[in-house]
Chains A and B, each alone.
Chain A
């Protein structure tokens, strides 16, 4: 018997949350970065589970394909010897207060979800929404064209700025 949708969702969620927890708590930076890549894969699986196929592949192309490369380059360019790979946590009191703040935020969000009775809209008879790639293309070229142009300008500006910030300062004779 095939597993139900909820069991698949719980499996995806365990992979996602487990890799995120390990990524945030390991001492080795490269292990953290690779576990975060696994987390991004799990998020793409979630998008596939929710019938958003274009989003799943966009997530894989951008996050696993590009952002992971940026992160690994940054990790490898900012260490002098192999010992720099292991990172200490902050002091014990800061760690405890950080974890308490995160737990309090989680409790607050969960309380807000259950207090307002956020429920799905007729899951039994509502067909899952599907999205054509053609529809996305027509939306991006039509009603959403301002957003597309603005994001293009943002990407250009940030990448030029990042290249300038990260480049070494040339010492010139004045």
Chain B
């Protein structure tokens, strides 16, 4: 199999594992961990295309993009977990099905 296709399949599998984790788990922290997995899978895609794709050989833009993506994902994890801590302080529970006070 083409190495690019293999890398893309791996990143697609990682993305879908993260998606399955987000959709099936009831804990808020595990949902955030699934989102981190999905962000990492997108970064894998960038590196796979940088390594094997048809871009110019001396282009480092994908590498710069991944650096910024890592930074923004870390910031988003910090905010998400701060929200989780705030919710826990209010409700003493982290189960997402029970966090429905704003539900219409």
Contacts and interface: CB of A to CB of B under 8 A. Distances in A.
A155 B71 contact: yes
A30 B58 CA distance: 42
> Chain A interface: which size bin?
35 or more
Contact of A166 (B13, B32, B85): B85
A147 B64 contact: yes
A17 B13 contact: yes
Report which residue of B3, B7, B60 has the largest number of chain A beta carbons within 10 angstroms of its beta carbon: B60
A139 B61 CA distance: 9
Contact of A55 (B9, B67, B72, B77): B67
B77 A67 contact: yes
B43 to A, nearest CB: 8
Given A78-B84, A168-B89, A63 B30 contact: no
Interface of B: 2-10, 12-27, 29-30, 32-34, 36-37, 40, 43-44, 47-48, 50-54, 57-60, 63-64, 66-68, 70-79, 81-86, 88-89, 92, 94, 97
A31 to B, nearest CB: 11
B16 A106 contact: yes
Given A20-B37, A74-B29, A162-B82, 8 more contacts: A55-B66, A110-B9, A114-B5, A120-B52, A123-B52, A129-B59, A140-B64, A158-B79
B4 A119 contact: yes
A78 B17 contact: no
Given A23-B33, A70-B77, A87-B26, A123 B40 contact: no
Interface string A128-139: 110100011001
Contact of A113 (B12, B57, B66, B68): B12
